Amino acid sequence: MADFTSGFWSWFIIILTILSIAAMFILNRWMAEPKQRAEEKPKPVGHVWDQDLEELNNPLPRWWLNMFYITLIFSVVYLILYPGLGSFPGLFGWTSTGQYQKELDVAEKRYAPLFEQYLREDLKALTANPEALKAGERLYVTYCTGCHGADARGAPGYPSLRDDDWLYGGSPETIKLSIMKGRSGQMPGWGAVLKQDGVFEVAEYVISLSGKRVVNQDAADKGKEKFMQMCVACHGADGKGDPKIGAPNLSDNIWLYGSAQKTVMDVIEKGRTGNMPAHGEFLGEAKAHVLAAYVYSLSQPPAVK
């Protein structure tokens, strides 16, 4: 309710809500009025079902009307105590953000000592602690599944965390740094420089680096020359990438956006921008430590866990 662009909409909602409640009170009162004198018989209102089942103008039962009155009185009390009338915060000043923060404070007070205890343990040693891994898994489900998936196998543009291919390095300490500080990578688009034929040739060469069969070997040979001119600075002469800047390894068969020729050409032509937000500020180092241990464990053989 605090996001109104002007006071008009706040007052619009307040007036509309109050008039609606008042109209319901009036309607309720009107429905309680008898529609005929005591000596008169109820009159039909013109609605007939099953040939002879008529609706009469009897007033609604008192208990039914009282239920309506109770709900209306409840709505009035609620709108006085809690937000609902435009930008009026209510007498209690309740907000969903405040409620969320209270719940966080309770959880932090309860679980912070446990995470602080884990913080004192080595990351690799922590992967052998089942309770720590369970805590890390809960953190992963809460904060990471939206991008990396519930099974941690990623999606186009979001790396899998279950293999041994890491853009910035797969050591536990590096993973923790990625979680704490986030990562931001960018590959420029080369379409304007290479043109369509050049994009195709470089794509053919890049595909060949991973051992995949290419459509045109001559194009791949020409693409190698262009690769050595424009791509070697980030991906290296052998195409194995550079973890220092997050340049992916092009010589394996793991593809961040897909290995189809059309996809590879699109990446070369338009470039890509990737961003992983930093989680350190709201997670804290202790939770990031446990989460890093869990993420590291996902790529390790069962014997190491």
Tens of pLDDT, residues 227-262: 999 999 999 999 999 999 999 999 999 999 999 999
CA pair distance 164, 182, nearest whole angstrom = 19
Number of domains in the chain: 3
Write down which residue in 92, 123, 146 finishes a domain: 92
Within this chain, do residues 26 and 76 fall inside the same structural domain, yes or no? yes
Report the CATH number that the domain containing residue 225 is assigned in CATH: 1.10.760.10
The pTM for the full model equals 0.71
What are the Cα distances from residue 274, in Å, to 177, 185, 223, 257, 271?
17, 5, 25, 11, 10
Is residue 16 in a domain? Answer: yes
Least Cα distance to 199 among 270, 271, 257, 268 occurs for: 268
Is residue 158 in a domain? Answer: yes
DSSP assignment of 139-193: HHHHHTHHHH-TTS--BTTB--SSSS--SS--SHHHHHHHHHH-EEEEE---HHH
Write down which residue in 38, 68, 92 finishes a domain: 92
**Owning domain of residue 222:** 187-273
Least Cα distance to 277 among 183, 187, 186 occurs for: 183
Lowest-pLDDT range, 109-118, 160-169, 201-210, 227-236? 109-118
Per-residue pLDDT band for 50 (boundaries 50, 70, 90) equals confident
Is residue 259 in a domain? Answer: yes
Per-residue pLDDT band for 28 (boundaries 50, 70, 90) equals confident
Lowest-pLDDT range, 11-15, 38-42, 256-260? 38-42
Is residue 1 in a domain? Answer: no
Least Cα distance to 298 among 146, 186, 87, 144 occurs for: 144
Q: Are 257 and 263 in contact (CB under 8 A)?
A: yes
- The predicted model gives 252-280 an average pLDDT of 95
